[in-house]
Amino acid sequence: MNRISGNNIGVITEDSQSGMTLSLRESWLFKEDQTARYYRLPLHDPVPVIRAMKGEGKNLILFFGVEDFEDLPGCSLLYVFEEPGSPGFVVLIPEGRGAIHQSVAGIFPIASLFEREIADGFGVSFTGSFDTRRLFLHEAYPPGFHPLRRSIPNTAPVQDTFDKPGKPYEFRSIEGSAVFQVPVGPVHAGIIEPGHFRFSVIGETIVNLEIRLGFLHRGVEKLAEGRSPDDGVRIAESISGDESAGNACGLSMALEQISGTQISPRAEHLRGVILELERAYSLLSDLAGMVTDIAHPVSASRLMVLRERLQQEADRICGSRFLKGSICPGGISERITRESLDHLFKTAGGIEHELDEIATWVLSIPSVIDRFATTGVVQPELIRSLALSGPVARASGSFADTRIDHPYGIYQERVPGQVCEQGGDVMARFSLKYQEIRASLRYIQELLVFTPDGPAIVPVQMHDGFALVATESPRGMALHWVYIKNGVIHRYKVRTASFCNWYAIERAVIGNIVADFPVINKSLNLSYAGTDL
């Protein structure tokens, strides 16, 4: 049991008798709610505890800073862990709130990203970290500018807006006479979001890829501070267009948890419909993108028409083709009519049949199989160390699905169809996404049959507090943590699935040829805006 020898703090001991799997003392428990247990560690260095957590199979999925958290002055760090087989999360809050912390990137590699994010936001540093470059703050921001500090107003850091006062970003370099670099972006050749890709190649083969994001950093988290909860949901909705409903739902659920609001069964059902509709149309464009990138536009055209029909359904339901405004704290938009839902029911069934035909056809074409199979393999070993989630993880043999592992809303009552593929290549992701769309369309029809009558929205009596909510967006697990103080948002932290999943691409492309990069990238289709915030 005691994995940490020579640890003079005496953290981990006796717990085997009490049957507790935690190496945490229950006396450290600070707060327990529906979704998480918060522990305040009376230690300045959380590293031994975090190492023990890893030994017990828990996984670090989020790690962020909060200033003036409850009665704690300074910047508290919150480490969020997922425990296999347990729906609740574990959150550790160490005593240390100074400017220097111990890095945990050696234990959980994904922590490196969170540490860079915290260092940018709050100006704290991590000793022993292997990457100390800035993450979301580009050269346009002067050194010493840390926007998430509460003492910093939400205004421009410099007068001359086109100046570049920051240090130039240093890319990892691979050296050798045969190696050359291919820089791509931020402005790409197609209609896509900005990001920079730095390939190191030998001949056609990619030996290294470094992805630099942050071009779309709009200051989401800072903008939410001081806003009313309703305004916060509108901001969450604008994080990433094709995940608007998912993010609005995540923050709304967190606010409902804080206020103790129970939404109506009708709203619960229709939220499920909205979330699955969003999943279906988002994944449909992923399929279309994949076949476009291997030059099979005939099937892409058909898939795009199906997507168009689902977006028209979204428009009919709530007046937005991206389901904006459909979910709000306390329930759903009142403008959703029975007629529009009946229409969706019919369309969902029709699309299911047509999709089956297209997918069967596409997957029987030898040239498609040739390009998809064995291309861009995401190794299952990466899932845990990079906190991968969603279709990326499920196409590499994982069953992880937030709707099933951490059920929320309607998913507590009705379990959605679970899909898993082995292989981890583009082929696996194509067939997985196809099956997920199918499962979503089925689930929509099922929910619509059982949707009861009732109020669309109930009033939310907001009071102070904090809550963590996990939802399954089309791209994987999205985490929303919100802290309400004096009736307004004091801190809003969001981690979309893309934030972690991006680094799967850096690994998946190695050994592939540059010409296959577009299809590999599209098979994951991650959100730049959702990562940059």
Partner 1 sequence: MQERICEAMIETVINLFKKPLCIDTTHSIGQDGGEELEIQRLGKDLQQEITRIFDKSFAIREVDCGSDNAAEIELGNLSSAYYDVERFGITFVASPRHADALMVTGAVTRAMADALIKTYEATPNPKIVIAVGDDACTGGIWKGSYAVLGGVEAVIPVDLKIPGNPPRPIEIIGSLLTLLRTQQRS
What residues make contact with partner 1 under the rule CB under 8 A? 138, 140-141, 147, 152, 154-157, 161-162, 164, 186-187, 189-194, 214-219, 222-223, 234-235, 238-242, 244, 285, 298, 301-302, 304-305, 307-309, 311-312, 315, 320-322, 324, 343, 350, 354, 357, 527-529
Rounded to the nearest whole angstrom, what is the least distance from the CB of residue 431 to partner 1 in the complex?
A: 21
Rounded to the nearest whole angstrom, what is the least distance from the CB of residue 424 to partner 1 in the complex?
A: 25
Rounded to the nearest whole angstrom, what is the least distance from the CB of residue 154 to partner 1 in the complex?
A: 5
Rounded to the nearest whole angstrom, what is the least distance from the CB of residue 216 to partner 1 in the complex?
A: 6
Q: Which is nearer to partner 1, 101 or 217 (CB)?
A: 217
How far from the centroid of its chain's Cα atoms is residue 453's Cα? 33
- DSSP-assigned letters across all residues of 191-241: S----EEEEEEETTEEEEEEEE--TT---HHHHHTT--HHHHHHHHHTS-G
Q: Which is nearer to partner 1, 88 or 165 (CB)?
A: 165
Q: Which is nearer to partner 1, 221 or 421 (CB)?
A: 221
Q: Which is nearer to partner 1, 2 or 215 (CB)?
A: 215
Rounded to the nearest whole angstrom, what is the least distance from the CB of residue 427 to partner 1 in the complex?
A: 22
Strand partners, 63: 79
Exposure string over 470-504, b if 16+ CB within 10 A, otherwise e: bbbbbbbbbbbbbbbbeebbbbbbbbbbbbbbbbb
Exposure string over 39-56, b if 16+ CB within 10 A, otherwise e: bbbebeebbbbbbbbbee
Q: Which is nearer to partner 1, 308 or 446 (CB)?
A: 308
Q: Which is nearer to partner 1, 216 or 274 (CB)?
A: 216
Q: What is the DSSP letter of 342?
A: H
Rounded to the nearest whole angstrom, what is the least distance from the CB of residue 193 to partner 1 in the complex?
A: 5
Rounded to the nearest whole angstrom, what is the least distance from the CB of residue 465 to partner 1 in the complex?
A: 25
Q: Which is nearer to partner 1, 244 or 389 (CB)?
A: 244
**How far apart are the C-alpha atoms of 518 and 496, rounded to whole Å?**
22
**How far apart are the C-alpha atoms of 5 and 306, rounded to whole Å?**
59
Residue 422: what are its φ and ψ, rounded to 5°?
-100, 175
Rounded to the nearest whole angstrom, what is the least distance from the CB of residue 269 to partner 1 in the complex?
A: 25
Q: Which is nearer to partner 1, 292 or 398 (CB)?
A: 292
What's the token pair of residue 163? 């100046």
Residue 368 burial by CB count (10 A; 0-12/13-18/19+): exposed, middle or buried? buried
Among left, alpha and beta (phi > 0; psi -120 to 50; other), residue 140 is alpha
Rounded to the nearest whole angstrom, what is the least distance from the CB of residue 529 to partner 1 in the complex?
A: 5
Look up tokens 């709610």; give the residue. Answer: 33
Exposure string over 86-120, b if 16+ CB within 10 A, otherwise e: ebebbbbbbebbeeebbbbbebbbbbbbbbbbbbb
Q: Which is nearer to partner 1, 325 or 423 (CB)?
A: 325
Q: Which is nearer to partner 1, 60 or 284 (CB)?
A: 284
Q: Which is nearer to partner 1, 54 or 309 (CB)?
A: 309
Residue 166: what are its φ and ψ, rounded to 5°?
-75, 165
3-state class (DSSP) for residue 389? coil
- DSSP-assigned letters across all residues of 70-132: TTEEEEEEEEEEE-TT-SSEEEEEES--SSEEE--TTTSTTHHHHHHHHHHHH--EEET-S--
Rounded to the nearest whole angstrom, what is the least distance from the CB of residue 285 to partner 1 in the complex?
A: 7
List the helix and strand counts (H, then E) for the chain.
17, 15
What's the token pair of residue 291? 């076949």
Rounded to the nearest whole angstrom, what is the least distance from the CB of residue 101 to partner 1 in the complex?
A: 25
Rounded to the nearest whole angstrom, what is the least distance from the CB of residue 240 to partner 1 in the complex?
A: 6
Q: Which is nearer to partner 1, 140 or 457 (CB)?
A: 140
3-state class (DSSP) for residue 465? strand
User: Do 102 and 47 form a contact (C-beta atoms < 8 A)?
Assistant: yes
Closest C-alpha among 210, 225, 140 to residue 174: 210
Residue 412 CB partners (closer than 8 Å, separation 6+): none
